Structure 1
């Protein structure tokens, strides 16, 4: 598993994974599975986007994380083709 923190990549308008301030993965797509740390427990989730009159908002399904995902601790399988 690759573990790091989410950060918004303005080059591709997606959230990617930073490890030690370096891009480990430059941009997740809707539906990509992740695990996110909530209250010190790893929870299976996926990244999605909700739309309203103000535009798109990234969120992690089944978690409290919506819109601003900056610095959220996540991990995903290394062999995953994302």
Structure 2
């Protein structure tokens, strides 16, 4: 029986609204790396050169916001990163 191992990496890009999913996703070089973040999904954003941990949420007014940050509503082009597990070949 083989065990699967993975390495966690951070994928860095910018937030952009994806009309197909009606969610904010992560764009890298204008390509979707993550097509749509869900409520409660964790990510990090860069503020003044510091990476802050946050979560994507939606308020009662149906506006997307990032927890523990002042960002609400228009989240376009905020520098962000998400973690990914890369499966390593054996």
- Normalised TM-score (structure 1): 0.89
Q: Count residues in correspondence.
A: 77
* Of 77, 84, 87, the match for 1:78: 84
Question: CA shift at 1:59, angstroms?
Answer: 0.5
SS at structure 2 position matched to 1:79: strand
Structure 2's unaligned 5+ residue stretches are 1-9
Question: CA shift at 1:13, angstroms?
Answer: 0.4
Q: What residue is the counterpart of 1:39 in the other structure?
A: 48
User: Where has structure 1 moved over 4 Å in runs of 4 or more?
Assistant: none
Larger Rg: 2
Residues 2-81 of structure 1: pairs in structure 2 closer than 5 A: 2-52=11-61, 56-79=62-85
Structure 1's unaligned 5+ residue stretches are none
Q: What is the Cα-based RMSD across aligned positions, in Å? A: 1.2
